[in-house]
Amino acid sequence: MPIRLLVTLLAALLLSAPTAAADERPPEPSQDAFYTPPSPLPGKPGDILRTRRVDWYPEPFRVFPAPVTTTQVLYRSTSATGTPNAVTGTVLVPPVPWAGGPRPVIAYAMGTQGLADRCAPSYRLRVGEEVEIAFLVQAMLKGWAVVVTDYEGLGTPGTHTYAVGQSEGRALLDAARAATALLQTPDAPVGAFGYSQGGQAAAFAAELQPTYAPDVRLVGVAEGGVPADMAEVARFNDGNLGSGLVVGAAVGYATAYPELPLPLNAHGREVARQVADACVAEMALLAPFTRIDSLTTVPGVIRDPRWQARLAENRLGTVRPAVPVYLYHGTVDELIPYATATGLRDRYCALGADLQWTALPLAGHITAVSVGGANALDWLGERFAGQATRPSC
């Protein structure tokens, strides 16, 4: 499926884009004034603070810009502790006409991009380095608009609050607010989509929407590979393949919640510094099979009551989503344990959620999104069409 979509996109580019040399590579977010928000922040959550039209290049040679209206937005949002912040994102509108009501919007939450500002999806889309374009294309071939959030601190000043669901969910809901405001369609139906870190963001959007963003017309949430319980994920990856990602999450939590102790030793400080300046491929290679205790001066840091309290705040499945949810997971996921997904499934069923569950046999973390992502987007299409759900509970 992704290959077919990429072929379709490239064909569209060849037919509609001028043959021209690539323009100069844009400056990284840290050198781009667009990403620096005004101070103090005006407005309310979801308000647009700044926009600009840019080109989206689906290939790294940056020869053919995609035939899509691409607008970067800087918008108001809210941190995990409730303080105002500013987040960047990208609104993509296809040239496909839409009739019969406002154009649906996909609030798209990317999987792990990294912690460095140059990893921000809004930047990676401009320079042709974003790896999730197949699903963006699938959505736009259906005529839907897409808004991609950069999350808190990714691109904008400060450190990215990686893996903090409370922050991610708010950033995604406010991205939907910004997109519908930009499109002047406040009543547009919104579907949230995400995998891995993006699945966490989408899941938190589902749980937070009734109280945080009741004005967003959310009709469904498709989430896969969800790190629903970060304490479980940290235990699973301690000394495992994904230990570099755990270090990234520790940096993200300590940024979001300054009261959390993170007593790193000299080696730990160096690893954390490298992780904070890395994109996802580099993060995965920085500290594989490393025990977290080998990076700290105090053993068992996350057993500290302050860590446990904040991890509990970011555990999914304590609130019944008000909209239907599509949840999928690979049975041999090497980064997010399958038991974490079934635990979330069981908690949602116990709460009476309208949940459709799909297990993907023998699928690892990357295979699962390759196999299940297209079906998840099709499921959102059924929600836009008002079709009946097929609950698994």
Q: pLDDT tens digit string along 83-136?
A: 999 999 999 999 989 998 999 999 999 999 999 999 999 999 999 999 999 999
Torsion sign, CA atoms 48, 49, 55, 58: negative
DSSP H or E stretch at residue 142: none
Buried b (16+ CB within 10 A) or exposed e, 111-124: bbbbbbbbbbbbbb
For residue 20, pLDDT beyond 70: no
Cβ(140)–Cβ(169) under 8 Å?
A: no
For residue 6, pLDDT beyond 80: no
CB atoms within 10 A of CB 352: 10
What is the per-residue DSSP string for 336-386? S-HHHHHHHHHHHHHHT--EEEEEETT--HHHHHHHHHHHHHHHHHHHHTT
- What's domain 231-312's architecture? Orthogonal Bundle (1.10)
Assign domain 2-229+315-384 to a CATH class: alpha beta
Q: What is the mean pLDDT of residues 151-168?
A: 98
At residue 3, the pLDDT reads 42
Give ranges for CATH 1.10.260.130 in the chain.
231-312
What is the SS3 assignment for 149?
A: strand
At residue 23, the pLDDT reads 56
DSSP H or E stretch at residue 281: helix 280-286
Give ranges for CATH 3.40.50.1820 in the chain.
2-229+315-384
CB atoms within 10 A of CB 241: 14
At residue 37, the pLDDT reads 98
At residue 8, the pLDDT reads 43
323-382 per-position pLDDT tens digit: 999 999 999 999 999 999 999 999 999 999 999 999 999 999 999 999 999 999 999 999
